[in-house]
Structure 1
Amino acid sequence: MKNWIGRLLGGSDKETPTPAGAVAAAVLDNEDMPAEIDSAFYRWLTASSGTNATSEVEEQILAEVRALSADPENASGLVPRIPELVAQLLGALSDENISTAALSAEVGRDLVLVAEVIREANSAYYRPVKPIETLEGAVTMLGLNGLRMLLARIAFRPLVKVKVQGVARQVAPNVWRHSERCAFAASVMAPGLSAGVFESYLAGLMQNVGLQVAFQVADRICAGKVPGSGAFGTDLFAASRQLSAVIALHWDFPPEVVEAIEESGQPDPSHLAEALAQGDRIAKLRLLLDAGVIEAEDSFVAVGLNGFQRRCLGKLADLAD
């Protein structure tokens, strides 16, 4: 995997115009709200596997996750590798001057990817006037940036959808749903924060890789369960983000992406880290809304998001699983 990520980043942020004054760094009226959202999301995510655990057990889990952050070789070995063909395609897409015909030829090398690209072009997000049936038509609809994001998403599926048992397997579908929506929302937030669009998308996809490893640790220590405390969940999210950053660094992700994952949710973040933090929050609220845990009038939404972020929240409803 090393060195391929750096070949992807051919100025993709130029393709998404900055919404004039629409996005500024989000300032919540309630400083505790981000932690409250994390807590609510964790309790929902682990509802079927949460248990009352002692503080000693909680600290043991957190200590092991943090220890893995000091052992990137071992930590990265707990998640799958990105398929080589997808990595090659992403490398080819780093050329902004590549033609639609050349893009179609690259994608056409794999029939599974062809089907994915056509399906994406016909999704509710793109809403074509009439069904798109050809690969070239689908590539034209997605554009270079859309195709780059789609292929990155395909590449990351095996990283989050780990083939393990227990809690990690139970939560994997919703962790992946969050990853997709976080990546999309972060890329939407990016232009107004002067952050790179594709870098924000990449950070959103990468952020939860450490979380799946953390759930494997918790499952082993709690014998098929995880602590159900929302406060523990916020600590686990923070520790797993640091683990994700360590794995990203070990895999030679761009330094700004690694830094964004490390700083997301922290004081004085970089512009990219702020885009990631906003995307993360919007994605969590989308899943809580879809699950009926909160309503659209909830203060998490009404107070926690500005108008532009609420429009992004609504757009996430169009993303297919």
Structure 2
Amino acid sequence: MLKEKVDEVLRDVNKLPAISSVVSKVLEKLQNPDVNINELASEISKDPAITASVIKISNSAYYRASKPIRTVSEALMTLGTKTVKEIVLLTAAKGILAQDLHSYQLEAAQLWSASLLVAEMSSRIVQSKKLPIDKDLAFTSGLLCSVGKIVLSQFFQPVLFQLKNELKENKEPFPTLEKKYFGYTHMEVSENLLNKWNFPPELVDVVANYLNPENSKVNQLLTSVVHIASIIIIVSGIGIDIGGESVPISPLALSLTGITDADIENYFLHIPDLQAGLADLLNV
């Protein structure tokens, strides 16, 4: 069975997408509100690639630093710990998501663009509806929702013909078909990965439930925001994969966030502005 093969991969850390140990340690330190900035800078600096990326992205037009940033410490002092955490996760996510997923009919550039747009749309929703969620948390929560697809994509080939035929006749949400054929949805695989990477429970909960916010156990409002953002981006045609537009917006998510039809129409209209604003990050 394919499920047994997926289980085998999930048990073997060498077969899974890797994330720098520095990222896990930084996230752990940032769970302490009194984290020492010098200690945090020292931890980030242990990974030269992340250090270079933090400095480069901190100086991008997207973050609009008030002065040139030359070190990780300056990035922390100028932009704040929450923003630097966002940049660290952005760097880690690009390293994982920058690959073609032919089985899902997604190219690397499409996957990365869609992931960034879901993150940015999540942040915009929080700000526009004045929700009691940190916009940086909303951004990072929306960034990694597709990571489980990277693992599942390698198992499509044996069942791809059957799956495509079923898609023509079956109107069920695509994660239901993932579960049927592979024993897992990409959300369950994402949850497994983020747990292995020691990510905070709030982020794990979002990737595990972003298409079913009713099942969220940690922060249902945050999960609802990412749920709505992800569907808006997919329906706009960005990052649309083999599953198409099979997941409807949850009424519970709309109720919790207070988002109206007029809001959704406005979010669609501003997608080109989001894309323009993210131009620097698309090429990190």
Which bracket does the TM-score occupy, shorter chain normalised?
A: 0.5 to 0.7
**2:274 is matched with which residue?**
315
Structure with greater proportional helix content: 2
Asked if 1:205 corresponds to 2:143, the answer is yes
Alignment partner of 1:151 out of 70, 88, 94: 88
Alpha-carbon distance, 1:123 to partner: 1.5
Alpha-carbon distance, 1:146 to partner: 0.9
**2:242 is matched with which residue?**
none
Q: Which runs of 5+ in 2 are unaligned?
A: 177-184, 240-260
**1:74 is matched with which residue?**
9
**2:119 is matched with which residue?**
183
**2:155 is matched with which residue?**
217
Aligned counterparts of 1:287 and 1:115: Cα–Cα separation in 2: 33
CA contact (8 A) 1:178 1:287 kept: no
**1:279 is matched with which residue?**
229
Percent identity of the aligned residues? 21
**1:7 is matched with which residue?**
none
Q: TM-score, length-normalised on structure 1?
A: 0.57
**1:123 is matched with which residue?**
60
Distance 1:106 1:309, change over 3 A: farther
Alpha-carbon distance, 1:99 to partner: 5.2
Distance 1:250 1:287, change over 3 A: same
CA contact (8 A) 1:72 1:247 kept: no
**1:172 is matched with which residue?**
108
**Pairwise mapping of residues 43-122 of structure 1 onto structure 2 (< 5 A)?**
64=2, 67=3, 74-75=9-10, 77=12, 78-98=15-35, 100-122=37-59
**Which stretches of structure 1, 4 residues or more, deviate above 6 A after TM superposition?**
230-234
Query: Across the two proteins, how many residue pairs are aligned to each other?
Result: 242
Q: Which amino acid aligns with 1:159?
A: I
Q: Which runs of 5+ in 1 are unaligned?
A: 1-62, 290-301
Aligned counterparts of 1:274 and 1:258: Cα–Cα separation in 2: 14
CA contact (8 A) 2:121 2:229 kept: yes
Q: Secondary structure of the equivalent of 1:113?
A: helix
Q: Which amino acid aligns with 1:86?
A: V
Q: Secondary structure of the equivalent of 2:152?
A: helix
CA contact (8 A) 2:101 2:107 kept: no
Alpha-carbon distance, 1:115 to partner: 1.9
RMSD: 4.2
